[in-house]
Amino acid sequence: TIQLPRDETLLFKKEIQFFKAFIASEITTYLDDISTVQFLETYPVGNQDSEQPLE
């Protein structure tokens, strides 16, 4: 195994934790978007009007 200096190892671990948190939040947002879209498709909430450009 490659021996990294202690500081770099800690930095690397922090980056991995940040990356995991970032991915987790991205996935959560993605799933929220999907469920919102499915909800709107299942229960159309008069959003046909909102597609027309506002004047």
Identify the pLDDT of residue 49: 54
Residue 31 lies in a domain: yes
Domain containing 25 equals 2-40
Identify the pLDDT of residue 25: 92
pLDDT(54) > 80: no
Residue 38 has what DSSP assignment?
Answer: H
Residue 50 has what DSSP assignment?
Answer: G
In this predicted model, what pLDDT tens digit does every residue of 16-43 receive, in sequence order? 999 999 999 999 999 898 888 888 888 7
Distance of alpha carbon 40 from alpha carbon 37, whole angstroms: 5
Distance of alpha carbon 44 from alpha carbon 26, whole angstroms: 26
Identify the pLDDT of residue 48: 57
| Domain count along the chain | 1
Residue 54 lies in a domain: no
Identify the pLDDT of residue 45: 63
pTM over 0.85: no
